[in-house]
Structure formats: structure tokens, C-alpha cells
Amino acid sequence: MRHWRPLLARMGPPAVVAAALLAGCGGAGQNGGAAAAQSPPAVTRVDARVQPASADQARPKPKLLAAAPTPSRVYLGALAQEKIAPANSGGGPHRVGLARAAEATRTAQQTLEQLHWQPTGGGGQVAAISFLAEGARGLRLGVVIRQLPAGTMLRLYRQADRSTVLQIPGQELLQRVERKALAGDAGIDGQTWWTPDLGAHEVTLELELPAGSAQAALDIAIPRVSHIFEELSPTGARAFAPWMTKSVSCAQDANCDDTQAGQRDAVARVRFTENGDTYLCTGTLLNDSLSSGTPYFLTANHCISSQTVADTLQTDWFYRSFACNSYTLSGDATELLGGATLLYASESTDSALLLLNEAPPAGALFAGWDASPQALGSAVTGLHHSHGDLLKISLGNLLEQTSCRADGKARFQCDGTTGNYYTVKWNLGMTAAGSSGSALFNRANLVIGMLYGGQGGCFETNAFDYYGRFDVAYAAALRNWLAPPVSTTATATSSAVAAPAAAPVSKHLAVYRLYNGATGAHRFTLSADERDGIIRSEPRIADEGIAYYVQADARPGNIPAYRFYNPAGGAHFYTSSAQERDGVQRDSPNLRYEGVAWYVAPDAAPGASAVYRFYRSSSATHFYTISLPERDHVIASQPDFVYEGVAYYAWTSP
């Protein structure tokens, strides 16, 4: 996959405020609840920046197969204008796409009839379907996946430009469906993969089945598409006439103020699809207390509050003007298409913390944060994509703490002078639909809140915006990921204060990784003695250190990782999926089942990260890594390794 003033006199808001949400209220959030009764100790985390990759680590766009199949064609007429006009009239996130039915591929049988299979050079089969929607600025296909033969590969591209392709293994999509089911969505939306938006009125979905696979084993349907009716593509320089921008006259170009010059690089425009409609919000990349480079991403619960929606995430980075008021998109604009894992979402502070499935682009900033209550009257800054436009900046002051609650689908009420939210009054700039989820920064350039909504407008002199308090969300749950407990005492500095001590965690065991230079295979073991014995007896095997950490026995909250041995390649295969385990036992008698190897996390729990899996057919071996950069390096530089997605989740420290 392709893969930022002067202080105002303290003034209070009206006693009760009813404000239209910039983005609609979300459903019940995961792990939501009342804020901790006591304020957490002051904890700050400074910025860190994504370093540019070396030339050999740059991740190129995958190339399309030389002989692309002739696709069948599914034509959708133009979207009625009377449907577009009211799309954003009732509040809610800024809507840019509407669900449409695709009758020709509504069922699995109809979809199979559209697939005209052609043989491949390797003995497999390949077929494709092209979808066209008149007047669309983009299309996302809602692919319902119930069953895919092992080794299936899916590709996405445009017929007008087949020089590049997005490619994803079927196994990764099955893992996504399984993850959504574990999160509680086993219905049609949980089974749907929303393809990335390629910014065109036509998109082609190609499927390749490996040799020996039966077409009848394929069970997919494409009953819906999301018809994008606003221009969204961030790639390439693009000029905007002032009247073409979607923001109102008082919106301020972020490149015209250097108050948060560095923090501009932490903010991304967020695109997501829910129930077939596509929306825009804003989010911010966050650092953690270890500066580990883990891509934690903060936005609003009313934007993304389920794993099903998080899976559809696309992010647009450096989506801002080339220069102050230039109305020209920066040539650095970059999009990520790989979705995210939802770690936490709560209505109580309207916060959502995600883990991006792809590493952020080079130059992106992991923003620092301050988990202490903020002084009333202090200067604050907002960076956001109002109406999905080029990055904007708002400057103002924090006036009050307040309590907010949802009042219907697209409105909320705030009152009082204590609570889980901050009231903000802008002196310069404003926010609008599409700004939701954007971070509020304090004078020290640290994140202190997430935008809930407001009444803001260019001529609304007594309007206010409301931000969920980061310190409250941190105390409730975010600290579990942003400041995980460590085995040694961190050294405090003037710019980064160590997180408070937490209760000890269960002991994790190191998995050692060994590499056989003769066969190109890797071996993994829990035993240091076995590792040392192998190295002594087999000089071609090199010690590559600790791969990751696991647990040795069953405990609440963990799951088994099963192991198979492949005599042909002399290596092991690991999976945490009981369904995959049973399928391998049934369909691959050459692999010898050896039982449970160790125990791992079922999802991205605090301190746990994805272990990525590759397969190399030439040696019949699998390769595993917990490192995102290493994963992307292998994808870029070693085409004989086929990326198969996430094997399971393990821990990065003891």
C-alpha cells in the first residue's frame, strides 16, 4: 500500500450555550467515562520530528502488472444536485461524499458474474471491474469481504493512469475484518473495506487468485460506493483563486503566522467514510514520553469513534499553501491511505486516539503535549482545516473551563465554569466544519485540547469554541499509550518531565531473532541458551538481537500465537488467528503444527505494537518485524517478499 497575544481580560461565556457542532456528535465511544476526580500531575512531552528516509529506504509506488486484465464496466450516472446541496446543512463533520448503491455488484453472485477471469503467467487467475460515476471528484468502493482464497491479491488503479497501483494482500483485509469483529462490529459495515480515494471519477478493482484457487472460494460484493463531490486530491501543486477556497473571509492562512511554525507539520487533514458517506476533520500527530516514533494520532470522538470508521482513514499531510496567501498547494503535500487502529474514544472529552497503520511522511512532527490544567486567560492557538481547506490558524485566549453535553445529533450545550472542556475566544481567525478534532496549542506550543465545536463566525463577536481537555483525557486513558510505564527511571529535563510511576506490568519475555545467511531464513526463539547454542554450532547464523517481547503463558487479555514448522524452508510460521491455524492445518499438510509458541496481545494495547508478516515463495519462509521503518524498507527494496499484513501484536519493552 502507498502506501499552528496579547491576553484578553477574563470574560465568561453565556450561562448556557446551544451551539451547532462543527462535526456531528459521535455514538457511544470506547472506554469513555467520567474524568478522574483529581487533576493529574503536570506532565509534558516535547516535539520530535520524522527524519527523511535514505535513498534506499524511500518507498516507491508499486508498479502495475505489465498485462492488466480487460475490466468489466459498471456505470453510475451523475449524482443529483439536490442531494449535494443539503449534504452539510444539518451540522456534523464536513461531508464531501455520499453513499450510492451499485446494483450491478450488489450481491456476491452478481459480483462474480462481472469478473471475467484471465490466466496469469504463474498459473493463477486475474480479473477486474471498473466503476465510473459521472461528475465524481473521487470514488471509494465499499467491498464486502466474507471469504478470500489464501494468497489473493487486490489492486486499485485508474484506467487513465495505470503506471502505478495500490496493492493490498487479501490476508491483510481478512485481518481487518477480524479486528472490527473483535471490536464489536460483525455486521455489513465491519465486513466492508472502503478502498482509498484516488481522486478520479473512475477506479478499477483488480483481483488475482493464486494457482490452484477456486473462483467459488471468493465471496465478495460491492453493493455501495462513496461518490466524492468535492475536489480533495492533495497531490501535486494546485492553484486556487481566492474565491475558490471554501473558508470564509476571516479565515487566516497558517503560513501567514509563525506562532506555531513547527506545529504546522504535525497537523493532517482527515478523510473517513461512515455508512457510505465521506467526511473531513482534522487530526494531530502526537509524541510519546519515550519519543519512540509510534504514530499516535489525536482527533475527535465525533469524527472517529469506532474501529470500523478508523479503518477507512486517509490523512493529507502538509496540506497548506506554498506561501502566505498564495492560494497554491504546497508541493510537499502527501497522503497516507492505510487506515488506523482505534485505541481510545470517549464522549466525555470528545477525544479519539488512533494508531496509524503507516509511518508518517518524512518531515512530519510528533507534537508535544501538556497534561496539566491550563491557566485561564492564557494565549492559545488552533491549527485546522476548516471546510477541508488549506491549513488555517486561529489565535485567541482560553477563557473558562466548562461542562458540555450532546443535545441531539448535531448540537450540544455547554454551561458552568468547571468541567471537561475549555472555552476559547478567538482574536484572529475562526473554525468551521472540517476543523473538528484539531488540536489546541498553548503558549509553549504543546497540545492541550481537541476541538469539539462552537458558534464561531466572522461577525459573531460573542461566539465561543469548545475544546475537550487533553489533561482530562490523558488522566482517563491516554497516558496508557503516551506515557507507558518503563522499567527504569526516566531522567527529567527542563523540557520533558518523566511520567509518574505506574503499577508494575506483567513480565514480558524477549523473542530473539536469528538470520541464516545461507538460506535467507530467520529463526525466532525465547531461549537465550538456544540462541547461543545455534550461533556456536552454525557459523552462518547471525544474532539480530531482540525482535520483540511476548508472554509465556495465558493471562487475562492475551491470546495464543500458534506455530508451524516448514521442513522445506527450515523456518517457522506464526499466526494468532485460530481460523488461519485451522485453514493451514487443512490445506497445507507440508506445514507441521507445533502448538502454541507464546502469548501475544489481540490488538494495539498499551505498549503493544503490530508485528508485520512477509512471505518469500522462493525459500518458502516467512519474515516478521515489529518495526514500521523496517517493514517499509522491505516493501521498497525486496520485491520477492510479499507483505501479508499484521501477524499479531507484541510488546516493545520488557
At 348-366, the pLDDT tens digits run: 999 999 999 888 998 999 9
Among 200, 228, 256, where does a domain finish? Answer: 228
What's the confidence (pLDDT) of residue 628?
82
Answer whether residue 477 is part of any domain. no
DSSP 500-553: PP-PPPPP-EEEEEEEETTT--EEEES-HHHHHHHHHH-TTEEEEEEEEEEBSS
Interval 29-39 mean pLDDT: 34
Among 228, 244, 271, where does a domain finish? Answer: 228
CB 561 within 8 A of CB 594: no
Binning pLDDT at 50, 70 and 90, where does residue 249 land?
low
Binning pLDDT at 50, 70 and 90, where does residue 310 land?
very high
Answer whether residue 345 is part of any domain. no
At 329-344, the pLDDT tens digits run: 888 999 999 899 999 9
Binning pLDDT at 50, 70 and 90, where does residue 243 land?
very low
What range defines the domain where residue 525 resides? 509-651
pLDDT at residue 181 tops 90: no
Among 196, 228, 260, where does a domain finish? Answer: 228
Answer whether residue 317 is part of any domain. no
What's the confidence (pLDDT) of residue 36?
33
85: domain CATH number is 2.60.120
In whole angstroms, how far apart are CA 59 and each of 2, 334, 611? Answer: 8, 13, 19
Answer whether residue 335 is part of any domain. no
pLDDT at residue 483 tops 70: yes
Greater confidence, 583 or 649? 649
Answer whether residue 475 is part of any domain. no
In whole angstroms, how far apart are CA 13 and each of 397, 461, 525? Answer: 13, 12, 61
Binning pLDDT at 50, 70 and 90, where does residue 234 land?
low
Answer whether residue 163 is part of any domain. yes
pLDDT at residue 58 tops 50: no
Interval 107-111 mean pLDDT: 97
Binning pLDDT at 50, 70 and 90, where does residue 470 land?
very high
Q: Cell numbers at residue 159, please?
A: 484506467
What's the confidence (pLDDT) of residue 145?
95
pLDDT at residue 3 tops 50: no
Q: What is the mean pLDDT of the chain?
A: 82
Answer whether residue 551 is part of any domain. yes
Greater confidence, 393 or 216? 393
What's the confidence (pLDDT) of residue 221?
98
Answer whether residue 499 is part of any domain. no
Whose cell is 482505534? That residue is 342
Q: pTM for this structure? A: 0.77
* Least confident piece of the model among 13-22, 503-512, 578-587: 13-22
Strand partners, 413: 18, 405
How many separate domains does the chain show?
Answer: 2
At 392-443, the pLDDT tens digits run: 999 999 999 999 988 765 688 899 999 999 999 999 888 888 999 999 999 9
- Classified as helix, coil or strand, 336 is strand
